[in-house]
Structure 1
Amino acid sequence: MTRLSRRALLIGAGSLAGAGTVVGVVAASRRRRPGALPLGPSAAPPVPGAPAATPTPTPLPRGGRLAIAAAAGFDFDTFDAARSGEPSVVELLGRVHARLIQWADPAAAVLGPDLAAAWEQPDPLTLVLRLDPRARWHDVPPLAGAPVTAAEVQAHLARVVAIARAGDAPRSQRSAALLDIARVETPGLAAVRLVLDRPSPLLLPALAGEFALVQPPAVLEGPSAPSDPLDPALLAGCGPWVFSGFDGPAARFRAHASGHRSPLLDAMAVSPPVDTLARYRAGELDEFPAIDPRDAEAARALPGIVELPRFHRELVLSTFAASGPPWSDPRLVEAISGALNRTCLADALFAGRARPSGPLPPVSRAALEPPVLAPFPGYAADAADDARAARQRWEAAGGPSLGPVTVDIPSIFDPRYAASAVVIARLNDVLGPQFRPGVETYTTIARRVQEGAYGNGRAAFWFGWGTPLPSPDPRELLLDLYGHALAPAERSNLLAADPADSAAFAGLQRAILRDGFRGVVPWLQQVGETFRRPGTFGPPPSPFWDGYRDVQRYRLS
């Protein structure tokens, strides 16, 4: 069985932007007392005799089965959520396990309840999580459908914090905020109290993280704990789905009807995105992503099929070590950005299936709109205007004297998208014939990023996919790419911002663009399509893994 994908290898080598993890930052919320975390959902008591605020909604239909294809192939490394760095593992773990909290609305960066029905912060160093009393483990050995207890959650949190402190958690866990937890207490049978060493603005997003899955201690470390990290016994949890086994490549699940988040469907099947169009036509799939644009064109001709846009999980970007020459001169980076006009790139590389990206990707509500981006190099509506300004910058900054400039392109990116031909040809046409391609593995590129080899006396940079976007929180997105280049005041202001307040991030994005991108040039976010069978309903596709929202899926026939 394959162990690690190219993304996992890249993640393991560290952030492509050179940004370290954020530890021990003290920030003040603009709307709350210093260090306060957002309050969790709480239900106001009903007022006797008061009319209902809204009409009672029509109940959604229950029952039925659904078969969907995942956005990427299955590539499992371990079913221990605290030790996995592979996103596709979450296709299984994320359905059978719960998180303490979830992104209720990823598009709006709004958190909501999961295993914790509510939470509050009585002071800046204390977070109290109140468990949903309906939460029960799956009715499989050794869990036997027992209620989830605060002691079990305490043991889970103590374990993941210990793994993070020991440095054994993969970087894709992004568990730095967990290091702010001094101890975990159980003030009651259904409450867990986190006592912090310092205010931790990103603790709640960390508890909603992709790998922040609550696994039962009895299964992971009990006397009957399996020795094989891919033993299906590790898939027993308290999430909305119970793992039923594999049917070929498809993972099958049945509803955990007695849990705290009961699905509308009776069963689901999730499989890799292979032969999706043929399987849809054969009635084997109800929803699938169109990986190949030719599949998308063919799918549109099918009667009644529903098409939904789907942003990809990674940005196409480049990084430059700007601490020394040549890229310490921002005019050179701006010239390269201007030469590679993003509209031209989207058309030439992806046949228009991509959107220009600023410091925040277009999928984010806080992303800068095209008219705001237009004055900066590489975003002009007229690519010829960008090209003229780029050549002037390049020559004024002494670009021609650099000699050959190497652009490393990941081998998985090229020749698939002919990037070495498209990118190099455009640079040579606009800036002069001095650019040459270097097709390398992601492992080599990640090592060179860590060594600062894309700069610091070497005329080179790379062009390709970055690591998966960390979460819907704009603060995490900006820290992931630009944390290494933020001034203390900028970092403090960023962490204090309300993630749902789009306007709070505009000033920092403009500052990054004005400062020659601060070593990280975002190019594009690819856009694909998801197709659904008529009569199939559910949340819109998200680039962030949100299979926990499968509980909202239903079908009319």
Structure 2
Amino acid sequence: MTRLSRRALLAGALSAGGAAAAAAVVVRRAPGPSDEPSLPAGEPSPSPPPTPTPLPRGGAARLAATSSFDFDTFDALRSGEPSTVELLGRVHARLLQWDDPAGARLGPDLAAAREQPDPLTLLLRLDARARWQDVPPLGGRPVTGDDVRFHLERALAIAREGTAPLVQRTGPLREVARVELPAPGLIRLVLARPSPLLEAALAAEFALVQPPEVASRFDADPLDPALLAGCGPWRFAGFDRETARLEAYTAGHRVPLLDALSVSPPTDTLARYRAGDLDEFPALDPRDAAAARSLPGIQEFALPWRETVLSTFSVSAPPWSDARLLEALSGALNRGWLAEALFAGRARPAGPLPPVSGAALPESDLAAFPGYAADPDADAGAARQRWEAAGGPALGTVAVDIPAIFDPRYAASAVVIERLNAILGPQFRPAVERYPVIAARVQEGFYGNGRAAFWFGWGPPLPSPDPREALLELFGHALAPADRDALFSSADAASLRGLQRRLLAGFAGGVVPWVQQLTEVFRRPGLEGPAPSPFWDGHRDIRRYRSS
């Protein structure tokens, strides 16, 4: 996948106008009659689950990551690099984890149980089996409530300072007023106001719990490998050139099925697989995917990118306050045509929620909106009529900023501009810019407010598997208070789809989603495990095993 860090600035730029999370929360269980909270040791189950068939243990797996290694710091709360999570996300644990990213279902990790007795209180019960790894300076000691309080208070302080990278998305944490320890192993988060996305924030990409002994040494050398010591299922065993070697940590609360794991950057992946040096790799080059499919017994998985290709417009003033102009641009760049012309078919039409979301609009629903027709020519004809009726030709030159890392890789400055000029008229001109320039222009309202300009490229990475978070980040500024409240009071798939239809009508808020790109992940026969996810999922490697 393309490097996140070079365009992560957009995460803040696009969400700067977003509204705060709604006040309503769903209360999980009623509070008990006693004054002192008492949580079960784990999540309750309505009936004992069937005894699973034991999976084979032992062996090793060699994986290629989806992004190059470019570590900025091993301080999880100050990092903005996905490659950092490739290591820390396996060596450390979070309080909660996305147990099922595809189903947007949270599960336990360090917190074996959780309860929200009222909208201003969240209780977390630590897993009694959790221990820091048996490496200096931790020595295998238990994880305590004091450790977690230290982590949370440090995260809250950084969030309030506003010094964390934008991809940290610290908003939900800012609603926590204080962290209390009412009993051993029990953490109580007291909120100043309801924070419906707080649990998602505790499972966020960089929400990795690091011990006080390690955090105190970040200022001296933030990239010291000795700092890679946590309470996760894997223990860091060193680097072999660029490859990170990990060993199973069997004394903690989550024990992997494999004995060892190695993770390396996605370079020369097909050749390394053929040489027996890789067991799983992403096919970032479509030629590698075509060649991999001919290999005997290989397993293939589709992997959506975590970013949506989109454009944003400032719609508070002309010219883009006329929705017909946005509908014309959307119709000219028909999604099916874009997927083929720009990405050789490795993309799918995206609505306000991309196809990876379980609450995304189906393509049959999207077809009712400009730019999503099955026939690109039909969209093109309607687009030209809308453009002319709204006075589009009188705008003169329309500048389209295209990120430098997006072009020339996909030749967007040729493909996209030629299409617009052919359908709407010869008035579109490309400009290749760096992402920081585009991000600053988004924040300044440059793409509109009297300027005939917009940008086309990757948007911010999806914040989490929770569809509500993605909608708030991109469209929060365009949501009516009732719609924001509805996100949390009745956030079922049907209501989320209804909200997306309203957002697509006239492209409310000036955010025009285009497509979500796809890549492929290939896996060696005999290696089994969870299907790849576009989100961080190194914690799910504990389920990998070899069946032969």
Give the alignment's TM-score, normalised by structure 2: 0.95
Aligned position for 1:506? 497
* Residue number in structure 2 paired with 1:302: 295
Q: Which residue of 1 aligns with 2:24?
A: 27
Give the drift of 1:352: 0.3
Q: Does 1:538 align with 2:529?
A: yes
Question: In structure 1, how many angstroms separate the alpha carbons of the residues matched to 2:339 and 2:196?
Answer: 36
Deviation at 1:16, TM superposition (A): 4.2
Q: Distance in 1 between matches of 2:375 and 2:45?
A: 54
Q: How far 1:497 sits from its partner (Å)?
A: 3.5
Closer, same or farther: CA 9–275 of 1 in aligned 2, 3 Å: closer
2:33 corresponds in structure 1 to none
Matched, 1:434 2:427: yes
Q: Please state how far the C-alpha of 1:21 moved relative to its aligned partner.
A: 5.9
1:401 match: 394
Equivalent residue number for residue 133 of structure 1: 128
Please state how far the C-alpha of 1:45 moved relative to its aligned partner.
8.8
1:381 aligned onto 2:374: yes
Note if contact 1:357-1:523 (Cα within 8 Å) is conserved in structure 2: yes
From 177, 180, 184, give the equivalent of 1:182: 177
Q: Distance in 1 between matches of 2:17 and 2:168?
A: 13
Structure 1 position 548 matched with structure 2 position 543 = no
Query: Could you give the per-residue CA deviations for residues 338-383 of structure 1, whole angstroms, max 9, x where no partner exists?
Result: 0000000000011100000000000000000011010100000111
Displacement, 1:169?
Answer: 1.5
Question: Does the 8 Å CA contact 1:22/1:176 hold for their aligned counterparts?
Answer: no
> Which residue matches 2:336?
343
Deviations 1:475-521 (A, max 9, x none): 001011111211111111113334xx322201110000113242111
In the alignment, is residue 108 of structure 1 matched against residue 103 of structure 2? yes
2: CA distance, partners of 1:508 / 1:72:
33
Q: What amino acid is aligned across from residue 152 of structure 1 in structure 2?
A: D
Partner amino acid, structure 1, of 2:294: A
- Cα distance change of structure 1 residues 13 and 104 upon mapping to structure 2, 3 Å threshold: closer
Secondary structure of the corresponding residue to residue 526 of structure 1: strand
Alpha-carbon spacing, 1:68–1:14, altered in 2? closer, same or farther (3 Å): closer
Contact 1:309 1:527 in 2 (8 A): yes
Secondary structure, in 3 states, of the residue corresponding to 2:8? helix
Partner of residue 456, structure 1: 449
| CA offsets 1:424-462 (integer angstroms, 9 cap, x no match) | 111111111111111111111111111111111110101
- Change in CA separation of 1:311 and 1:45 when aligned onto 2, cut-off 3 Å: closer
Q: Could you tell me whether the CA contact under 8 Å between 1:6 and 1:442 is conserved in 2? A: no
CA distance, structure 2, for counterparts of residue 32 and residue 192 of structure 1 = 17
Give identity over the alignment, percent.
67
2:326 counterpart residue number: 333
The correspondence for 1:124, drawn from 101, 111, 119, is 119
Q: Quick one: which amino acid aligns to residue 101 of structure 2?
A: P
Partner residue, 2:513: 522
Task: Tell me what 1:288 maps to.
Answer: 281
- Residue 202 of structure 1 corresponds to 197
Partner of 2:417: 424
Distance 1:128 1:168, change over 3 A: same
Q: Does structure 1 residue 414 correspond to structure 2 residue 407?
A: yes
Aligned position for 1:57: 52
Change (3 A) 1:22 1:150: farther
User: Which residue of structure 2 aligns with residue 370 of structure 1?
Assistant: 363
Matched, 1:71 2:72: no
1:36 counterpart residue number: none
The 1:476/1:508 distance shift into structure 2, 3 A limit, reads same
* Counterpart AA for 2:480: A
Note the C-alpha offset of 1:25. Answer: 3.7
CA contact (8 A) 1:305 1:533 kept: yes
**Alpha-carbon distance between aligned partners in 1 of 2:250 and 2:457, rounded to the nearest angstrom:** 43
Unaligned runs of at least 5 residues, structure 2: 31-38
Q: CA deviation at 1:125?
A: 1.2
Name the stretch that deviates more: 226-235 or 239-248. Answer: 226-235
TM-score by length of 1: 0.94
The number of residue pairs the alignment matches comes to 539
Change (3 A) 1:32 1:509: farther
Distance in 2 of aligned mates of 1:259 and 1:32:
29
Q: SS of the counterpart of 1:549?
A: helix
Shift of 1:62: 0.4
Q: Aligned-pair distance for 1:165?
A: 0.7
In 2, distance between residues paired with 1:382 and 1:225? 56
Task: Determine whether 1:149 maps to 2:149.
Answer: no
Q: Could you say which residue in structure 1 is the equivalent of 2:272?
A: 279
Structure 1 portions without partners, runs of 5+: 34-38, 47-51
CA distance in structure 1 between the aligned counterparts of 2:377 and 2:124, rounded to whole angstroms: 56
Contact 2:61 / 2:258 at 8 angstroms: preserved in 1?
yes
Deviations 1:304-362 (A, max 9, x none): 11111111111111111111111011110110000000000000011100000000000
Separation of aligned partners in 2, 1:83 and 1:239 = 19
The partner residue of 1:476 within 464, 469, 474 is 469
Q: Distance in 1 between matches of 2:18 and 2:455?
A: 22
Alignment CA distance shift 1:20-1:453 (3 Å): closer
Secondary structure of 2:405 counterpart: coil
Q: CA deviation at 1:226?
A: 6.3
Residue 230 (1) aligns with residue 231 (2): no
Q: Which amino acid aligns with 1:403?
A: G
Letter of the 1:493 partner, please give it. A
The code of the aligned residue for 1:511 comes to: R
Which aligned pairs between 1:214-293 and structure 2 lie closer than 5 A?
A: 214-221=209-216, 227-293=220-286
Output the CA distance in 2 between the equivalents of 1:15 and 1:225: 25
Contact 2:3 2:68 in 1 (8 A): no
SS in 2 for 1:107: coil
- CA 1:545–1:53 in structure 2 vs 1: closer, same or farther (change >3 Å)? closer
Cα distance in 1 for partners of 2:87, 2:18 equals 27
Alignment RMSD (CA, Å): 1.9
Task: Return the letter of the residue paired with 2:517.
Answer: Q
Q: Distance in 2 between matches of 1:529 and 1:204?
A: 31
Please give the alpha-carbon distance, in whole angstroms, between the structure 1 residues aligned to 2:11 and 2:250: 40
Separation in 1, partners of 2:457, 2:10: 16
Report how far residue 17 of structure 1 moved: 2.7
Q: How far apart in 2 are the matches of 1:9 and 1:305?
A: 33
Q: Do the aligned residues in 1 keep the contact of 2:27 with 2:117 (CA within 8 Å)? A: no
Question: In the aligned structure 2, how far is the partner of 1:32 from the partner of 1:519?
Answer: 40
The match for 1:82 is: 77
Assess if the C-alpha contact under 8 Å between 2:16 and 2:443 holds in 1: no
Which amino acid is the alignment partner of residue 17 of structure 1? Answer: L
Distance 1:31 1:552, change over 3 A: closer
Q: Hey, what does 1:169 align to over in structure 2?
A: 164
Which whole-Å deviations, capped at 9, do the CAs of 1:246-290 have from their partners, x for residues lacking one?
A: 001111100011110000000000000000000000100000000
